[in-house]
């Protein structure tokens, strides 16, 4: 999705090469980082758009999906005309533990599954490979998100990881554990 990134002339971060730390922020929102290399953070979000700040200056915002049956989060890119949807998540009927669907503007679809044996864990799956692209597990007060072998080969994964991170914290019911 290179067209969704703000051109800065800097070396872009490639999340496929790193384990990421997902840290809830006390005031809401989260920070997603590859320690010492890259970071992205957002404040609490809801109906209003919240800017996504990052070390590589992406021009993104997050907001809750709107509409009578909308349950999920929308990631948008700032464009001269306003905002353009980059990706969105869609939650199930409300138990918090059903699979989550992720839709990218380029047509790709992903699914996140939740498990709790032996510990709480999330996996991000696609249709092209068996198994997960990314896994997430709780490590005390934060989460570690790690690429699998398939995830290390998944191009354009930045947008899906931002939504994956936001939905993990939404499913856990709090950004202040």
Quick: pLDDT tens for 19-40. Answer: 899 999 888 888 888 867 778 8
Cα within 13 Å of Cα(137), Cβ side: 9
How confident is the model over 68-107, as pLDDT tens digits?
777 889 999 888 888 899 999 998 766 556 678 999 999 9
Contact 165, 22 (CB under 8 A): yes
- Token pair recorded at residue 77: 């890119």
The 8-class DSSP code of residue 153 comes to G
The residue ranges of every structural domain in the chain are 2-6+17-171
Q: In the prediction, which pLDDT does 59 show?
A: 81
Query: Cα separations (Å) of 153 from 22, 72, 129?
Result: 21, 27, 11
Task: Give the tens place of pLDDT for each residue, 94-152.
Answer: 655 667 899 999 999 999 988 776 777 899 999 888 889 999 999 988 999 999 999 98
H-assigned helices in the chain: 158-171
From the centroid of its chain, how far is CA 45? 13
Angle at the Cα of 143 (from 56 to 46), degrees rounded to 5? Answer: 65
Give the residue from 154, 136, 149 showing the smallest Cα distance to 24: 136
Cα separation of 76 and 36, whole Å?
26
């Amino acid at each position: 999705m290179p067209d969704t990134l703000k051109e800065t002339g800097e070396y872009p971060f490639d999340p496929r090469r790193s384990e990421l730390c997902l840290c809830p922020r006390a005031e809401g929102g989260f920070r997603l980082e590859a320690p010492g290399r890259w970071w992205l953070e957002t404040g609490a979000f809801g109906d209003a758009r919240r800017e996504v700040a990052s070390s590589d200056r992406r021009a993104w915002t997050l907001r809750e999906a709107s509409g009578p049956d909308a349950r999920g989060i929308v990631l948008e890119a700032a464009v001269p005309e306003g905002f353009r949807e980059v990706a969105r998540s869609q939650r199930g009927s409300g138990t918090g533990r059903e699979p989550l669907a992720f839709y990218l503007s380029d047509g790709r679809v992903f699914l996140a599954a939740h498990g709790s044996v032996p510990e709480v864990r999330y996996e991000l799956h696609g249709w092209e490979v068996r198994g997960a692209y990314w896994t997430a597990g709780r490590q005390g007060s934060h989460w570690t998100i790690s690429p699998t072998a398939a995830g290390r080969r998944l191009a354009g994964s930045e947008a899906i990881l931002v939504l994956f991170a936001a939905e993990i914290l939404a499913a856990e019911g709090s950004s202040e554990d």
